[in-house]
Amino acid sequence: MKKKITLKQIARELDVSISTVSKALKNSKEISKDTTEKIQAFAKLYHYKPNNIALSLKNRRTRNIGVIIPDIVHHFFTTVFRGIEQYADTKGYNVIACVSDESFEKEVINMELLANGSIDGFIMALSAETQRKNDFHHLIEIIDQGMPLVLFDRITDDVICDKVVINDFEASYMAVKKLIENGRKRIALITTESYLNVSEKRAQGYYKALKDHNLELDENLILRLPYQFEDETKSEAFFASNNMDAVLCVNEIFAVRAMRIAQRNGMKIPDDIAFIGFTDGILSKLANPALTSIAQHGEQMGEIAAKMLIEKIERDDEIETEEETFRTEVIKATLIERESTNN
């Protein structure tokens, strides 16, 4: 077992000084061709690679970025993560991934842990609990310390930083509009129980679309489900006690579950009832019938977030003063039509 070799060891072996070795390995022309070759050959032989930690300490940058997502099993976050990872990779950055599990406390702890030098910046989506509590002191503190932060999807207006979102309101509006144009009259909304920024915006789009087309808002047609687990009793009661001809769901899991229940109740999709869901993931594609779905372009979102963050990190290095400016990028969601609606 040969431990990693250091400059010091090379220097000792070759009977030169550490700085000579360092320079030779960087092809500095201060060093003679002879010594340079000798040192490089030796270094190669022993697979010398500079120690990242020492470099980080010296340069005050780690080339690590911290990503905190509420839930990794949720397809949307996974795709965003993928986008982040891919872009970061091309720029030579590593991604440290933390899952907040929708918990405020885990979010805070993870952030504090990473903020102590382990990373150069954060990309995150707020946990449900954080949004409910409306407590963002940990984010503000981080920013205060000069650490770049990019929020995506689950954002808040209370924190001033770079952000990436999709046009939830418009996307939802368009989806409902489409349903109405297809002749649907009783359009239900299945959304999350807890207060999530995005769900709220999607609900607003739904309200507005109904209103603009002179359809009455019927509170009975709105079902609020717990975000994580559900035993389907609420959903079944919902379908049993209401008649509707279309459903908009704020995510694809809700949509696919709802379709199953509707089918179990003998309804034909899309003849009797149409479905549209957010999150155009694998479930939408492979559902039976395939689900018409609003693509949130998670991968693109992650890529943009990573790009914004890395730009800010690398800018910080150069100029020092210069007034900070923050951007909010809005990605346009697109409707992917499949079998659960008629076109």
Query: Nearer to DNA by C-beta: 18 or 336?
Result: 18
Part in contact with a copy of itself (CB under 8 A); list of ranges 17-25, 44-52, 172-180, 212-220: 44-52
Using CB under 8 A as the binding rule, the residues of this chain from 259 to 278 that contact a copy of itself are 259-260, 263
208 makes contact, choosing from a copy of itself, DNA, none, with CB < 5 to 8 Å by partner type, with: none
Query: Nearer to DNA by C-beta: 7 or 295?
Result: 7
Using CB under 8 A as the binding rule, the residues of this chain from 147 to 186 that contact a copy of itself are none
State the residues that interact with DNA by CB under 7 A: 6-8, 15-20, 22-23, 25-26, 29-36, 48-51, 54-55, 57-58, 60
Query: Nearer to a copy of itself by C-beta: 99 or 203?
Result: 99
Mask: binding to a copy of itself, 73-92, rule CB under 8 A, as x and -?
x-x--xx-xx--xx--x--x
Query: Nearer to DNA by C-beta: 18 or 109?
Result: 18
Residue matched to tokens 């019938």:
289
Chosen residue from 144, 157, 181, 219 binding a copy of itself by CB under 8 A: 144
Binding site for a copy of itself (CB under 8 A): 1-4, 47, 49-54, 56-57, 62, 64, 72-73, 75, 78-79, 81-82, 85-86, 89, 92, 94-99, 106, 110, 112-118, 141, 144-146, 253, 256-257, 259-260, 263, 282-283, 286-288
